Amino acid sequence: MVSVKDKPFDFHGATFTVKVLTSETNGRYTIPDVIHPPDMGPALHMHPKGSETFYIIEGHYEFILNGKSLNDKSGDVIFVPKGTPHRFVVGQKGGHALVISPPELEFYFLKVSELLGKGDVSYITESDIGEQYGQVFLNSTKHWK
């Protein structure tokens, strides 16, 4: 697989740039820098391999963690403990976040991005790839829409 470090790529309309690879952290985490278009976000999911922390550089995000809604803006930090069900929706003007993600998650984003470049990717296919790399979807509602 081609290295993704510092090479922007499209993932469901968001621009991902992996700043730190899992291989650079002794398998502990990865850090993508993500520019999200308006009104997008993943379906409810969780990460069994580690916690996730979002630093919002720009924009507004609504996070749903364990059923609670949090409205966050530029400068806010959102910590999602390992195994916690969560999702988010980006505000109407889009957003920019630096994310400290569980290990190997960059490979989920890259593999799905490569498939999207060839056409549509079913939720089932994406879910299977996600499970391989620590992105476990809990339902398909509002998935990257």
Give domain status of residue 59, yes or no: yes
Give domain status of residue 18, yes or no: yes
Q: What is the pLDDT of residues 98-125, one digit of tens each?
A: 999 999 999 999 999 999 999 989 999 9
| For range 136-140, the mean pLDDT | 92
Q: Give the CATH number, domain containing residue 28.
A: 2.60.120.10
> What domain range includes position 45?
9-137
Give domain status of residue 2, yes or no: no
User: How confident is the prediction for the chain on average, in pLDDT?
Assistant: 94
Give domain status of residue 37, yes or no: yes
- What total of structural domains would you count in the chain? 1
pLDDT at 2: 53
Give domain status of residue 143, yes or no: no
The DSSP secondary-structure symbol of 37 reads: P
| Contact predicate 8/36, CB 8 Å | no
Give domain status of residue 1, yes or no: no
pLDDT at 57: 98
Give domain status of residue 129, yes or no: yes
Q: Cα 73 to the chain's mean position, in Å?
A: 17
Torsion angle, CA of 61/65/67/70, rounded to 10 degrees? -40
| For range 57-72, the mean pLDDT | 94
pLDDT at 39: 95
pTM assigned to the model = 0.92
Q: What is the pLDDT of residues 12-57, one digit of tens each?
A: 999 999 999 999 999 999 999 999 999 999 999 999 999 999 999 9
Give domain status of residue 4, yes or no: no
pLDDT at 66: 85
